[in-house]
Structure formats: structure tokens, C-alpha cells
């Protein structure tokens, strides 16, 4: 479904991604993990053409998106992206947020769009919020609307960039549940996350990125149980440790 | 001793009304045109490639740094030399639109700059092209935060429209001035002028306040 060949990305002289070679199978779920600033967001943005690569090739569904000839707006409709900060359009209602791209970009029929929007909101459990504005939603609700908005374009791939990092634990759970339910439907997904338990549970493959390079990739069991690399091991431990500390302090306070 | 006598106003009422009509007409058309120019220029300057940005910037700087009166005369006297013969009113409208358009584009630009960069990414990520992103997503958010300064620009336009009297348009200012000079009734005519111009600009100020209240509810970005 997605294939990256020798992808490098520079911002001026700063090397953000270096020689990335990997592939993601159709219907599979890939979790992208790694320390902050290692290039995870940049990698996602390269995959749906939000930012150009400096070197290398990226194929989505056998179309080379890094070629000049490719219509990037079309690629972006095929690869949906959900951001950490939701980025809902604040001047539009939930309904309008979800309707807009199918109507204006895909030129879908208005009735079909309305029906699809209701279906998607039902799916993320927010049909009752259809006429609310984004500032009337909680963070978890806003993120689920953002997911519905992306799904409305009927993408072949969904990418999530730290979808729960801006949320408290309870809201995190509702968003993770939504993503999990999508995974059961066979959607190809790339998820950037610091939720190790979640990654382990849903991912078919884990890619560990450090300083712009893939330093390890493989099945969750292998990466978590027998990390072949010191950096990976350290990172996983540090994340699990900080999680435990949070739980600890919460228990003490509670 | 000067005796105040408002009867002179009553005598010139028909011309006065004609003057109000012309000022209203010029202001309305110029407002619309200036707004469209402002939107176009801000699109060029914020969403387009370097040559378009440069062209937009050059336009704004030239217009902002020359007197409106020169621009009015330029359109009125210089265009016919190039083969375009237009009525004085049309010339006035063209000059006022171009002049106010530059200021409006600056106001709108500050609004566009206040929109979060992530909104562009979200729009792009959904497949909107640049024009769609601008019209559907960026502009509606930008304009919400600049309603008061935008209102001021339309008020300025109404006041500046008095300068078209220099190219023999019988607008409100011209009628007042002529009445005052012909009858030596400066006090009466200029007082009426103040009241009438304030009424026109007051309506704009009021509308701007109402619009600002109306849009204030749902312009905020959601953050956790
Ligand atoms: N638009 C940009 N211009 C310059 N540098 C950038 C830009 N976007 C990201 N970077 C840099 O690229 C590196 C990787 O960023 P990012 O992909 O956001 O990392 P991550 O998502 O893993 O935290 C960081 O050092 C960041 O400062
Ligand atoms: Mg990131």
C-alpha cells in the first residue's frame, strides 16, 4: 500500500529524515514510535504530500506521489491525516466540518454527503453533537469529529499523528477505542503514538525512528520483548516508567 | 451681526438630496470594489508564489504612499490620454476603490496572519486547493477578527469620497460647498454637512458593531 525508497528530508541543512526504506501492507496497522523531534510528523506529512521530500520516492497504492506529475490534492484525499491538535475549522459546525471536503473537493452529491456524515458521527458516537461548534466539544469529542472528518473523504489510508497527546486519560481512551474499531474494519493505518500498550495491542508492525532514521522495525512482540537495539530499549523503558510514575502519583493523591 | 437662517437649506434641498445620492452611490460601489480588491490582494500576498506576492506588495506600497488626490487626478486626467474616456463619477469610483482596496488588504492581511498555521495543514490534508482553502477556511476566520478596523476603512472611504468634488462631481461635499459660497451661508451649510456625513458614517459604525457581536460567538480555536 505504501512504500518508501531511500526517502530523505532536509529543512535547509537540517536533516530530518535519512534514508528511510520501508513498506506498509494493505490493511495493516503500523505504529510509528520514537522520541520527540525524531521526524515522525515529518514522515507522515511526506506520505500524503503535505511537505515535499528532498530525496527518494514514495508510492501510495503503486502511484509515485513524489513524482512531479502526480496530482497531490488527489493523493491527500486518499491518505487522511488526523493531527494532535484536531485542527477542526472553528467557524463551522460539526456537520459543516465533515461535509465540506466531500462536497467541495470530491463534488459528491449533497444528499449522499449528509447521509454519510450522520453515519460517521454515529460511528464515532457523536451524532447528538452534529450542530454544535468545535468550541462546544471536549478534546476527546473534537478529536473523534476530526477522525470522522477525515473518514468522510473515504481515504485508502488513515494516518494519526499523536492523536491522544493533547488529551487526558479518559478522553484518550475514547479516541483509542474509535481508532481500534477502525482497525477491525481493515483500514490501513499509520499511527504515531506514545501509548505503548495501545501500539502493542493493535499494531501489526512497529517502526522505531530515532534522529530521522529507522533503527528498528518488526512485530510488536519482538520490539517490546527483545529489542535488538539499545536506544529502542531505553526509549520503551523510559516511556513505561513515566507512565508508571503518573499512575503512582495519581494513586497517592487519590 | 450674522443671523443664522436655516431656510437657505430648505431652498437647496433638492440639490442637497441629489448630492447625498451621489455620495451614497460612489461610496457603495467603491466599498464593494475595494473589498473585492482587498480580498484578491490578500490572497495573492498570503497564498501565492513570490512574483504574485511582490506584485501585491508593490501595489499596496504605491497606493499607501501617494495622496489620494493625485490618484483621483491621475485616473481623471491621465487615462483619457491613454484612450479611456470615463465620466468623472466613474473616475472617482475607480480611484477610491483602488485606494481603499490597498488599506483593506492590509487589514485583512493582519486577520489572515492571525489564523493558526495548522488550519492550512488541515485544509491541505483534506485535499482543498489553495483557492478553496482561502475562501472556505482561512478567510472566514480572518475576517472575524478584523471587523472593527474594516469598518473604519469603509468610514474613511465615505469621508474620502468628498475629494471627488475636485474633478467636478456634484457630490454631497460639492453641493454643501457651493451652497455655502454662493449664499455666504458657511455656518448653516457646513453644519448640515457635518450632520449628514456623521449620519452616513454612523450607520457604518453601527453595522460594524452589530456584525462584530454576531460573529463573535464561534470564531475561537479549540484548544485543550
Ligand atoms: N517546517 C519546519 N521547518 C524547519 N524545521 C522543521 C520543520 N518542521 C519540523 N522541523 C524539525 O524537524 C525535526 C523533526 O520534527 P517532527 O517531524 O515534528 O518530529 P516529531 O513529530 O517526531 O516530534 C525537528 O527537529 C523539527 O524542529
Ligand atoms: Mg510530531
Could you please report the per-residue DSSP string of A9-22? EEETTEEEEEEEEE
Cell numbers describing residue B190: 457646513
Q: Which of A90-99, A210-219, A230-239, B78-87 has the highest mean pLDDT?
A: A90-99
State the residue range of the domain holding A109.
2-253
The rounded radius of gyration (Å) of the Cα atoms in chain A is: 19
Q: Helices (DSSP H) in A21-61: which residue ranges?
A: 40-47
pLDDT given for residue A235 in this prediction: 80
d(CA A234, nearest CA chain B) in Å? 30
**What ipTM was reported for this prediction?**
0.86
Q: Is the pLDDT of residue A230 over 80?
A: no
Buried b (16+ CB within 10 A) or exposed e, A74-87: ebbbbbbbbbbbbb
User: How far is the C-alpha of A80 from the C-alpha of A34, rounded, in Å?
Assistant: 22
Q: Which residues of B touch A139 (CB under 8 A)?
A: 222, 224
What is the band of B221 on the pLDDT scale with cuts at 50, 70, 90? very low
B102 close to B63: Cβ distance less than 8 angstroms: yes
Q: What is the CATH number of the domain that holds A73?
A: 3.40.50.300
Q: Is the pLDDT of residue B187 over 80?
A: yes
Please enumerate residues of B whose Cβ is less than 8 A from a Cβ of A.
Answer: 116, 118-119, 121-129, 132, 136-137, 140-141, 144, 217-224
Q: Is the pLDDT of residue A4 over 90?
A: yes
As a whole-number percent, the residues of chain B with pLDDT over 90 amount to 79
What is the band of B223 on the pLDDT scale with cuts at 50, 70, 90? very low
User: How far is the C-alpha of A252 from the C-alpha of B166, rounded, in Å?
Assistant: 81
* Chain centre distance of CA B212: 18
| Interval B37-91: pLDDT, tens | 999 999 999 999 999 999 999 999 999 999 999 999 999 998 888 877 889 999 9
User: How far is the C-alpha of A194 from the C-alpha of A165, rounded, in Å?
Assistant: 8
User: How far is the C-alpha of A3 from the C-alpha of A25, rounded, in Å?
Assistant: 9
A137 Cβ under 8 Å from any chain B Cβ: yes
pLDDT given for residue B6 in this prediction: 81
HSE-CB at A112 with a 13 A cutoff on CA atoms is 10
A126 close to A156: Cβ distance less than 8 angstroms: no
Residue of A148, A83, A16 whose CA lies nearest to B121: A83
The residue nearest atom 24 of ligand 1, judged by CA position, is A37
pLDDT given for residue A170 in this prediction: 86
Task: Mark yes or no for CB contact A89/B137 under 8 Å.
Answer: yes
Domain count, chain A: 1
d(CA A91, nearest CA chain B) in Å? 5
What is the band of A142 on the pLDDT scale with cuts at 50, 70, 90? very high
Pocket of ligand 1 (CB under 6 A): A 11, 14, 16, 36-42
The rounded radius of gyration (Å) of the Cα atoms in chain B is: 21
Cell numbers describing residue A111: 444528499
The full set of domains in chain B, from first to last, is 7-223 (1.10.3720.10)
Cell numbers describing residue B170: 456634484
Long-range contacts of B146-150 (CB under 8 A, 24+ apart): B146/B107, B146/B108, B146/B110, B146/B111, B147/B208, B147/B211, B147/B212, B147/B215, B148/B208, B148/B212, B149/B107, B149/B110, B150/B104, B150/B107, B150/B108, B150/B208
pLDDT given for residue B160 in this prediction: 97
Q: Is the pLDDT of residue A192 over 80?
A: yes
What is the arithmetic mean of pLDDT over A14-33? 93
- Mean of all residue pLDDT scores within chain A: 89
d(CA B36, nearest CA chain A) in Å? 21
d(CA B119, nearest CA chain A) in Å? 6
Rounded to the nearest whole angstrom, what is the distance from the C-alpha of residue A16 to the centroid of ligand 1? 7
Q: Is the pLDDT of residue A247 over 90?
A: no
What is the band of A46 on the pLDDT scale with cuts at 50, 70, 90? very high
Task: Mark yes or no for CB contact A48/B125 under 8 Å.
Answer: yes
Q: Is the model more confident about B41 or about A240?
A: B41
Which of B121, B132, B144 comes nearest A87 by C-beta? B121
* CA-based max dimension of chain A: 59
| Interval A67-120: pLDDT, tens | 888 888 888 888 999 999 999 999 999 999 999 999 999 999 999 999 999 999
Q: Which ligand is nearest to the CA of A210?
A: 1
Q: Which residues of A touch B126 (CB under 8 A)?
A: 76-77, 80, 100-101, 105, 149-150, 153
Pocket test for ligand 1, best of A31, A39, A211 (most atoms within 8 A of CB): A39
- Count how many pairs of residues, chain A against chain B, have C-beta atoms within 8 Å: 80
Question: Which runs of E-coded beta strand occur in chain A?
Answer: 2-11, 14-24, 29-33, 55-60, 63-64, 79-82, 157-161, 188-192, 205-210, 213-218
Task: Mark yes or no for CB contact B223/A85 under 8 Å.
Answer: yes
What is the arithmetic mean of pLDDT over B160-166? 96
A107 Cβ under 8 Å from any chain B Cβ: no
B23 close to B200: Cβ distance less than 8 angstroms: yes
pLDDT given for residue B85 in this prediction: 82
Q: Is the pLDDT of residue A251 over 80?
A: no
Q: Report the residue of chain A nearest B141, measured CA to CA.
A: A91
Amino acid at each position: 500500500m505504501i512504500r518508501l525508497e531511500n526517502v530523505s528530508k532536509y529543512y535547509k541543512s537540517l536533516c530530518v529524515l535519512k534514508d528511510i526504506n520501508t513498506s506498509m501492507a494493505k490493511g495493516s496497522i503500523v505504529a510509528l514510535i520514537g522520541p520527540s523531534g525524531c521526524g515522525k510528523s515529518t514522515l507522515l506529512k511526506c506520505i500524503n504530500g503535505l511537505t515535499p521530500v528532498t530525496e527518494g520516492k514514495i508510492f501510495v497504492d503503486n502511484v509515485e506521489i513524489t513524482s512531479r506529475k502526480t496530482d497531490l490534492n488527489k493523493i491527500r484525499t486518499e491518505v487522511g491525516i488526523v493531527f494532535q491538535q484536531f485542527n477542526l475549522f472553528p467557524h463551522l459546525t460539526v456537520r459543516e466540518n465533515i461535509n465540506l471536503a466531500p462536497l467541495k473537493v470530491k463534488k459528491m452529491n449533497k444528499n449522499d454527503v449528509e447521509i454519510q456524515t450522520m453515519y460517521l458521527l454515529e460511528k464515532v458516537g457523536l451524532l447528538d453533537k452534529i450542530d454544535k461548534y468545535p468550541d462546544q466539544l471536549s478534546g476527546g469529542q473534537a478529536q473523534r469529529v476530526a477522525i470522522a472528518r477525515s473518514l468522510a473523504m473515504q481515504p485508502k489510508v488513515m494516518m494519526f499523528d499523536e492523536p491522544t497527546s493533547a488529551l487526558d486519560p479518559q478522553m484518550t481512551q475514547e479516541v483509542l477505542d474509535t481508532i481500534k474499531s477502525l482497525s477491525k474494519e481493515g483500514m490501513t493505518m499509520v499511527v504515531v503514538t506514545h501509548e505503548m500498550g495501545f501500539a502493542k495491542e493493535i499494531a501489526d508492525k512497529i517502526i522505531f525512528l530515532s534522529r530521522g532514521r529507522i533503527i528498528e522495525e518488526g512485530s510488536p512482540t519482538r520490539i517490546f520483548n527483545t529489542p535488538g537495539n539499545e536506544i529502542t530499549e531505553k526509549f520503551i523503558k523510559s516511556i513505561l516508567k513515566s507512565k508508571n510514575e503518573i499512575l503512582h502519583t495519581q494513586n497517592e493523591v487519590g | 451681526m450674522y443671523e443664522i437662517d436655516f431656510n437657505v437649506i430648505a431652498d437647496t434641498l433638492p440639490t442637497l438630496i441629489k448630492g447625498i445620492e451621489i455620495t451614497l452611490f460612489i461610496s457603495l460601489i467603491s466599498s464593494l470594489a475595494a473589498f473585492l480588491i482587498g480580498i484578491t490582494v490578500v490572497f495573492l500576498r498570503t497564498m501565492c508564489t513570490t512574483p504574485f506576492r511582490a506584485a501585491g506588495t508593490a501595489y499596496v506600497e504605491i497606493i499607501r504612499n501617494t495622496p489620494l488626490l493625485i490618484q483621483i487626478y491621475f485616473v481623471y486626467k491621465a487615462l483619457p490620454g491613454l484612450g479611456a474616456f470615463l465620466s468623472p463619477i466613474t473616475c472617482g469610483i475607480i480611484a477610491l476603490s483602488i485606494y481603499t482596496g490597498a488599506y483593506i488588504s492590509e487589514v485583512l492581511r493582519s486577520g489572515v496572519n492571525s489564523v493558526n498555521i495548522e488550519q492550512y495543514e488541515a485544509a491541505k490534508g483534506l485535499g482543498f486547493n489553495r483557492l478553496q482553502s482561502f475562501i472556505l477556511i482561512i478567510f472566514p476566520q480572518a475576517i472575524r477578527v478584523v471587523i472593527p478596523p474594516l469598518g473604519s476603512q469603509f468610514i474613511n472611504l465615505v469621508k474620502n469620497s468628498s475629494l471627488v468634488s475636485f474633478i467636478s462631481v456634484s457630490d454631497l461635499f460639492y453641493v454643501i460647498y457651493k451652497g455655502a459660497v454662493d449664499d455666504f451661508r458657511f455656518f448653516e451649510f457646513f453644519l448640515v454637512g457635518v450632520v449628514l456625513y456623521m449620519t452616513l458614517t454612523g450607520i457604518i459604525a453601527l453595522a460594524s458593531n452589530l456584525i462584530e457581536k454576531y460573529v463573535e460567538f464561534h470564531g475561537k480555536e479549540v484548544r485543550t
